[in-house]
Chains A and B, each alone.
Chain A
Amino acid sequence: MCMYFQAGEIKYLLTLIFLSFIIAPAMPNSHQVTDTIKVQKKDTAKVQVKDTSKIQGKDTAKVQVNDTTKVQKKDTANLQVKDTLKHQLPDSIIYKQTTFSAEELMRGERLFYGLVYLEKKSVNCVGCHNTSVSDTLNWNPDALEISRKYLNKNAFDLSKILLKPLGKKMKEVHKGFQLTSEDIVLIKAYMNKFVDIGIKQNKPVITNLLLLIIASVLFLLSTIDLIIRRIFKNRRVNWVIITLTGIFITWVLAVNAIAFGRAKGYSPAQPIKFSHAVHAGQNKTDCNYCHYTAKISKTAGIPPGSVCMNCHLLVRNGTRSGATEIAKVVGAFEANKPVEWIRIYKLPDFVFFSHEQHVSAGEINCEACHGKVKEMNRLYQVPDLSMGWCIDCHKTRKVNLSNEYYKTYYSDLYDSLKAGKIDSVMVTGIGGRDCGECHY
């Protein structure tokens, strides 16, 4: 009897969980970074808690601190004392500080997250300089990039950029910063930790996987119950659960199997925040200007650094990105190093695709396959690059038979087209479905 009761409980529990997970995706995703303020709040909270525990363990082991506010108070008090001492020191000495106490690091952190009021105004760094990987194109350098850049540099260099910004965008944002040299040193000291720990990666969304597991468990339980009849006396309930979960499991498996090894929508973060929307969209640069081998070669080509420099010899400041991103291009070129882009469109080794064939001979425009690149800040893969996708296009795309080549070898088709016997010849009509056209 006891067993029976428990099983009955599970029944409601499982159905509840199942329903909750179906509803879950409909609600705003907590992992998605939608608002910088939100992130700021969340992150600060976390870091504070984590760091106080550290301090407890290490430096102030004797002092039993249970409240974060207490630590803060103590810190500020300590710092005040130090501040008065330091005020007598010249900046050049302050910038040379290399060892920091836990309290000092704490202040650096608070400064970074905008928790310290400077002249009645809070400035936060994290608002623009992310501490976690972003899904969208964030023009500003993230915390890791900055910390890497200044790791081996003096805090004085950082102060220059903070207090006397150069780029248009930076001038606007960094306007009226009231940071003292000590604060800058502390911010830098705090940010050095990003070099070691990096920035937070987005955790993969596991909703589907959890759902699949739960559905599978439900499916199994119902199947067993169908046989032993312990939970539901009415078999129909079991049948309904089995059917529903069965459909769900099959659907998940099918969708994932089809997408296996494909990368539709793949949009990795690139080493340089390059925006096609800015270059091809706003500035109306022709695709073939940079990808100049698309018409004459198998590959469209990634533009060499020298092509970037055609414009960026003069253009050193972006409207949105400021100088940082362009400086990377210029720096790589001057250091004679190529930029290592992350490849997005990638076919398996056994497929031979030629841009020349499609762009020049087939007269297809770039958007047909690559989508509206002109609107993409961060480039992503539009088609799934499956063979079905290729063949679908070959089946429906008309061939321009006016080329001398077709006139010579496909004269029968050309003549009947002219005579009006057929209205069009698709790519499949000229061998576009032969395996050996692409696989050899």
Chain B
Amino acid sequence: MKKYWKDIESKKSKEELKGIKQTSDENSLSGLLSDQRKDIPASRRDFLKLCGFSFAVSALASCQSKIGKAIPYVIAPNELTPGEALYYASSYISGNDYCSIIVKTRDGRPIKIEGNPESGITRGGTTARVQASVLDLYDGSRFHGPLKDGISTGWESMDKEICSKLQKIVEEKGAIVLLTPTIFSPSTEAVITGFLNKFKGSEWVQYDAISYSAILEANKISFGKQLIPDYRFDKADLIVSIGADFLGTWLSPIEYTKQFSSRRDPEHDMNWLIQMESNLSLTGSNSDNRIQIKPSQEPAILLNIYKHIIKAVENRNIDTPASLVDVSEISEKLLLSAGKSLVISGSNVKQVQLLVNEINRLLGNIGHTILFDSFLKTHAALESNMEMLIGKMKKGAVNALLVWNVNPVYTWYKRDDFAEGLKKVGLTVSLSGSPDETNSLVQYICPDHHYLESWNDAEPKKEFFSLMQPAISQIFDTRQMADTLLKWSGSTIQSYDFIKAYWVNNLMSRQSEFSDPVTFFDHTLQKGTFEPATSTVERGGKIRSVGTISFDPYSIKTVDNDGKNIVEIVLYETIALGEGRQANNPWLQELPDPVTKICWDNYVSISPAQAKEYNLNDSDILNLGEVELPVHIQPGQAYGTMGIALGYGRSKCGKVGDRVGIDVWRMLSSDKGNIVYTSKPEHIIKTGRIYPFAQTQTHHSMEGRAFVRETGLKEFKNNPSAGNEMHAFNLEHNKSLYKERKYPHHHWGMAIDLSKCTGCANCVIACQAENNVPVVGKEEVHRVHEMHWMRIDRYYTGEEDNPEVVFQPVLCQHCQNAPCENVCPVAATNHSSEGLNQMIYNRCFGTRYCNNNCPYKVRRFNWFNYSAAGTLTGNLRDVEGMTGDLRRMVLNPDVTVRAQGVIEKCSFCVQRIQAAKLKAKYENRALLENEIQTACSQSCPANAIVFGDMNDKQSELNRLITSGRRYNLLEELFTMPSVNYLTKIKNKIV
């Protein structure tokens, strides 16, 4: 068996460890008690006083019974049944991110986002960011109403003032500029066009913080189309990705994860992923082969691949500089799967993208795995436009600037230029809904709705339409951006009517099902998406003629790849925060990064070899010139590179996100008109100071047991239970003192396919939203008090410098021989007749014996009153403001909000089981297939989690748990879990 290790500390031998001083005493009792109160002199008298007081308070609090009120509606809305959930199909749009969603509302409040299975793009998947977006709705730091120079004012006076100013600018032939991210909503585009027509001489600039301009420009040169094509990962047998984290953050990760994992079923045709990258990304962690490179080596590698391929296809010889990576084998494999392969690059260098285009063209992938007819519309901005705008602004040639949902003062590489230019603009208006660095500098703020309060539509991919509808009436005195622009354009129409008219006029003719506009619109609204059947989009593998390629491989500049001396910095987006738009979201801030398992911070990732060279330990603070950042030693980080996450260090986003991490956007630079996401440190100096991380990684080590079982595709083909031989052995040898329990009616269970799971952490946030899991804050995570019911364990295997990575979602295993149940002195945790391991909060009195006895460490203890559910206010610990009235609106009323002093854990979403059972009884029928979906399984973008009744022999779950790949976590303990794992199958060249 392979040796798995979770972090570098645990890989070291015990002797080595003895030498390391225990740096953190936070886990010890003395650390816990001392807290930050060391400076406060507390005597025994104080303690007794407090004791007496708390007794008195509790006695008083319990004697007084509150008088509750029952307040009905005056006129009840027709569609609303108090106490029952109502679902709305909608769309999530945040900058360039898109997801088709279903919003669950209870009594008028959105409380949960689910994936919309009707969508042809996201197909029911979501990301952690989509899941967390519902919490942004209840963010008190959003603008509460229109502001003029920071002073609150009314919409009417605001409209009048701005309109007259704009009119004056038009009369004086001045320039009005509207600055937005890429707009992929057809109706918003029409609204903006109307605005531009009304104010002659106005201009519209699109700007994306994370730029894909190199792909756009390269495609313009290569194929005559300035578009981002539709990459079809489901059609590719071989994927070679050079630094593109397409499962995590690149372009359209939900769609790509769905496609990619649909090809990770070893019983069918498995694909093969080769990842070459510097940082250990999510995609790299899931690759079959991972090659560590420095960003500067990319051109040389691609040139060498190109050399091999052009030799084979066109029989031409070209000279190339030598590549440090031997690519001959990869080239061979690419040629073998010509037309069924995909080469992509995450680089924003035009030459690199041109090379990628040329390779794909030679391989015949265009029209097969790269489609141009159903192109992606979410990213279309070019930096050149922004550079031009800033130039004009600095010259004072811009008289009015309207900004919506972009934050160049934070994300633009030359932010000071932008800020300086902004001062010279006569009229500055922000239409964004929440505060940021840019709109802190503008005169007028006309706040936009949150997307859950808005009407909108989207066309993220050509001919894939969807609608956005409000799931709640506006919370603050905000107005939708489209409405604001319509009003200023002199239109009296509201955005809802505008969208409806747009759809009826432009899209209704694409279908023949409905002839009545009202029915057509209502039906589409209910479904959420509209993907016309009469679409002109080619969805098959038809080869398209490609424009002439004007690419000269000799023009590519290969940087001297003498990696020993130069350290290169790779700036990347994290899964949780991306470009930092949702930085004020405590759920996302507390989401551990899938690979590093650190939350509430960014850091410098460096390779273990490099750390040794510089004599660095984890948490040492490094000075890199402009910035100082703590070090995280990351196995698998390419030697000679450093990874730093963008999106942190916000200064004006709100209480939660401000000053979390370090802002490194200034490290970006521009090369030939494209922003480059790499940099070089001025110097690397160890400061000698230490910065402790909040990391969920090191609390328990593997101790050499087979948590994750893994095998190669070849071995699996020979033996379906390859790598899982001990399962049969364990089944045979396990004996229990207890009588075997029978579950004749329902027996709920779960199967998690480790081959499919990418570790994207969507399930963690989905669970948090569904089950009212509290946020504890950085300090508490540091003291290993995090509360997530669902966690994703990450294990490394192989060499420290070049490890392979496996992910394993771990939740309560709902054991049939549950060790926790036997030790509870008050039977607060016990077994149900349907195989659930129940946790009864009102019975629990906090001995934590169960926690101690659980071999999976899935039980969480409420050390403090995190959720304000307890009667004693003194123990409230809510550093992130999650117990305010507004934030609490996100709570699910079907799940108890746990008070201090009780254990909690995954319940298999028993509230959903109960609801589905009741619905079946009410409708006098059996349960439908997949009717019960837990929060984690519903929105899994990889379809890795399957929930169901293990007694149902026809179910998908039963097919999985009877396969040879099935095993249980720590099955040698004979706990008989109801959660089953399927062996991870890797498709690697051995």
Residues of A within 8 A of B (CB): 260-261, 263, 268, 293, 296-299, 301-307, 332-333, 336-343, 346, 348-350, 352, 354, 356-357, 360-361, 403-406, 408-410, 412, 430-431, 434-437, 439-440
Give, as a whole number of angstroms, the nearest-CB distance from A323 to chain B.
21
Give the segment of B96-104, B404-412, B835-843 that binds chain A. Answer: B835-843
30 A–B contacts, CB within 8 A, in A order: A263-B65, A297-B81, A297-B82, A302-B72, A304-B76, A305-B73, A305-B75, A338-B73, A340-B69, A341-B69, A341-B71, A341-B72, A352-B894, A357-B918, A357-B921, A361-B921, A404-B926, A405-B921, A405-B925, A405-B926, A409-B746, A434-B832, A434-B836, A434-B838, A435-B832, A435-B838, A436-B840, A437-B914, A440-B838, A440-B911
Contact with A along B44-79 (1 / 0, CB 8 A): 000000000000000000100101111111111000
Give, as a whole number of angstroms, the nearest-CB distance from A402 to chain B.
9
B917: interface (CB < 8 Å): yes
Q: How far is the CA of A341 from the CA of B68 in the complex (A)?
A: 9
Query: Given that A343-B69, A408-B926, A434-B832 are known contacts, is A440 also in contact with B907, CB under 8 Å in the complex?
Result: yes
- Contact check, A350 vs B841: say whether CB atoms are below 8 A apart: yes
Which residues of A are found within 8 Å of B897, using beta-carbon distances? 349
Contact with A along B806-850 (1 / 0, CB 8 A): 000000000000000000000000101110101011110000000
- Contact check, B74 vs A297: say whether CB atoms are below 8 A apart: no
Which residues of B are found within 8 Å of A435, using beta-carbon distances? 830, 832, 838, 840, 843
- Contact check, A293 vs B81: say whether CB atoms are below 8 A apart: yes
- Contact check, B71 vs A431: say whether CB atoms are below 8 A apart: no
Interface size class of B (residues with CB under 8 A): 35 or more
Which residues of A are found within 8 Å of B917, using beta-carbon distances? 405
With both beta carbons as reference points, the residue of chain A lying nearest to B897 in the complex is identified as A349
B924: interface (CB < 8 Å): yes
Pick the contact of B841 from A301, A339, A360, A439 — CB < 8 Å?
A439
Give, as a whole number of angstroms, the nearest-CB distance from A366 to chain B.
17
Give, as a whole number of angstroms, the nearest-CB distance from B913 to chain A.
9
With both beta carbons as reference points, the residue of chain A lying nearest to B896 in the complex is identified as A350
Which residues of A are found within 8 Å of B65, using beta-carbon distances? 261, 263
Which residues of A are found within 8 Å of B907, using beta-carbon distances? 436, 440
- Contact check, A301 vs B71: say whether CB atoms are below 8 A apart: no
B84: interface (CB < 8 Å): yes
Q: How far is the CA of A336 from the CA of B836 in the complex (A)?
A: 47
- Contact check, B922 vs A360: say whether CB atoms are below 8 A apart: yes
Residues of B within 8 A of A (CB): 62, 65, 67-76, 81-84, 744-746, 830, 832-834, 836, 838, 840-843, 869, 894-897, 907, 910-911, 914, 917-918, 920-922, 924-927
Q: How far is the CA of A435 from the CA of B833 in the complex (A)?
A: 10
- Contact check, A439 vs B840: say whether CB atoms are below 8 A apart: yes
Q: How far is the CA of A435 from the CA of B844 in the complex (A)?
A: 12
- Contact check, A352 vs B82: say whether CB atoms are below 8 A apart: no
Which residues of B are found within 8 Å of A434, using beta-carbon distances? 832-834, 836, 838
Query: Given that A349-B896, A354-B918 are known contacts, is A303 also in contact with B72, CB under 8 Å in the complex?
Result: yes
Pick the contact of A306 from B76, B745, B840, B841 — CB < 8 Å?
B76
Which residues of A are found within 8 Å of B920, using beta-carbon distances? 405
With both beta carbons as reference points, the residue of chain B lying nearest to A336 in the complex is identified as B74
Which residues of B are found within 8 Å of A404, using beta-carbon distances? 924-926
Which residues of A are found within 8 Å of B834, using beta-carbon distances? 431, 434
In order of increasing CB-CB distance, the 10 nearest A-B pairs are A343-B68, A436-B838, A298-B83, A408-B926, A304-B73, A299-B83, A434-B832, A302-B72, A361-B921, A297-B83
- Contact check, A299 vs B82: say whether CB atoms are below 8 A apart: yes
Q: How far is the CA of A151 from the CA of B74 in the complex (A)?
A: 27
Apart from A340-B70, A343-B67, 7 more pairs, CB < 8 Å: A301-B83, A305-B75, A341-B71, A342-B69, A357-B921, A410-B745, A435-B832
Give, as a whole number of angstroms, the nearest-CB distance from B274 to chain A.
46
Give, as a whole number of angstroms, the nearest-CB distance from B400 to chain A.
42
Q: How far is the CA of A339 from the CA of B830 in the complex (A)?
A: 43
Q: How far is the CA of A356 from the CA of B85 in the complex (A)?
A: 14
- Contact check, A436 vs B836: say whether CB atoms are below 8 A apart: yes
Which residues of B are found within 8 Å of A301, using beta-carbon distances? 72, 82-83
Give, as a whole number of angstroms, the nearest-CB distance from A350 to chain B.
4
Q: How far is the CA of A163 from the CA of B841 in the complex (A)?
A: 62
Q: How far is the CA of A349 from the CA of B745 in the complex (A)?
A: 29
Q: How far is the CA of A354 from the CA of B71 in the complex (A)?
A: 19
- Contact check, A348 vs B925: say whether CB atoms are below 8 A apart: no
Q: How far is the CA of A297 from the CA of B106 in the complex (A)?
A: 12
With both beta carbons as reference points, the residue of chain B lying nearest to A440 in the complex is identified as B910
Q: How far is the CA of A62 from the CA of B922 in the complex (A)?
A: 81
Which residues of A are found within 8 Å of B894, using beta-carbon distances? 352, 440
Q: How far is the CA of A6 from the CA of B950 in the complex (A)?
A: 80
- Contact check, B926 vs A306: say whether CB atoms are below 8 A apart: no
Q: How far is the CA of A336 from the CA of B74 in the complex (A)?
A: 6
Q: How far is the CA of A342 from the CA of B67 in the complex (A)?
A: 7
With both beta carbons as reference points, the residue of chain A lying nearest to B917 in the complex is identified as A405
Q: How far is the CA of A365 from the CA of B84 in the complex (A)?
A: 21
Query: Given that A404-B925, A404-B926 are known contacts, is A306 also in contact with B832, CB under 8 Å in the complex?
Result: no
Q: How far is the CA of A343 from the CA of B70 in the complex (A)?
A: 5
Give, as a whole number of angstroms, the nearest-CB distance from B588 to chain A.
26
- Contact check, B833 vs A431: say whether CB atoms are below 8 A apart: yes
With both beta carbons as reference points, the residue of chain B lying nearest to A345 in the complex is identified as B70
With both beta carbons as reference points, the residue of chain B lying nearest to A306 in the complex is identified as B75
Q: How far is the CA of A152 from the CA of B747 in the complex (A)?
A: 67
Pick the contact of B896 from A260, A297, A409, A439 — CB < 8 Å?
A439
With both beta carbons as reference points, the residue of chain B lying nearest to A434 in the complex is identified as B832
Which residues of A are found within 8 Å of B84, using beta-carbon distances? 293, 296-298
Q: How far is the CA of A404 from the CA of B746 in the complex (A)?
A: 15
Which residues of B are found within 8 Å of A406, using beta-carbon distances? 921
- Contact check, B74 vs A338: say whether CB atoms are below 8 A apart: yes
- Contact check, B745 vs A409: say whether CB atoms are below 8 A apart: yes
Which residues of B are found within 8 Å of A412, using beta-carbon distances? 744
Query: Given that A341-B71, A409-B745 are known contacts, is A436 also in contact with B81, CB under 8 Å in the complex?
Result: no
Pick the contact of A356 from B71, B744, B922 — CB < 8 Å?
B922
- Contact check, A356 vs B67: say whether CB atoms are below 8 A apart: no
- Contact check, B926 vs A350: say whether CB atoms are below 8 A apart: no
Give, as a whole number of angstroms, the nearest-CB distance from A96 to chain B.
37
Which residues of A are found within 8 Å of B836, using beta-carbon distances? 434, 436
Give, as a whole number of angstroms, the nearest-CB distance from A439 to chain B.
5
- Contact check, B926 vs A337: say whether CB atoms are below 8 A apart: no
Which residues of B are found within 8 Å of A303, using beta-carbon distances? 72
With both beta carbons as reference points, the residue of chain A lying nearest to B66 in the complex is identified as A346
Which residues of A are found within 8 Å of B830, using beta-carbon distances? 435
Give, as a whole number of angstroms, the nearest-CB distance from B318 to chain A.
66
- Contact check, B72 vs A348: say whether CB atoms are below 8 A apart: no
Q: How far is the CA of A410 from the CA of B917 in the complex (A)?
A: 13
Q: How far is the CA of A333 from the CA of B72 in the complex (A)?
A: 11
Q: How far is the CA of A336 from the CA of B73 in the complex (A)?
A: 9
Give, as a whole number of angstroms, the nearest-CB distance from A119 to chain B.
46
Give, as a whole number of angstroms, the nearest-CB distance from B139 to chain A.
25
- Contact check, A293 vs B73: say whether CB atoms are below 8 A apart: no
Q: How far is the CA of A343 from the CA of B897 in the complex (A)?
A: 21
Give, as a whole number of angstroms, the nearest-CB distance from B70 to chain A.
4
Give, as a whole number of angstroms, the nearest-CB distance from B951 to chain A.
8
Give, as a whole number of angstroms, the nearest-CB distance from A381 to chain B.
12
Give, as a whole number of angstroms, the nearest-CB distance from A267 to chain B.
13
Q: How far is the CA of A434 from the CA of B830 in the complex (A)?
A: 9
Which residues of A are found within 8 Å of B914, using beta-carbon distances? 352, 354, 437, 440
Give, as a whole number of angstroms, the nearest-CB distance from A289 to chain B.
14
Give, as a whole number of angstroms, the nearest-CB distance from A143 to chain B.
22
Q: How far is the CA of A237 from the CA of B841 in the complex (A)?
A: 49
- Contact check, A436 vs B842: say whether CB atoms are below 8 A apart: no
With both beta carbons as reference points, the residue of chain A lying nearest to B910 in the complex is identified as A440
Give, as a whole number of angstroms, the nearest-CB distance from A130 to chain B.
21
Query: Given that A301-B83, A409-B926, A436-B907 are known contacts, is A333 also in contact with B69, CB under 8 Å in the complex?
Result: no
Q: How far is the CA of A417 from the CA of B82 in the complex (A)?
A: 37
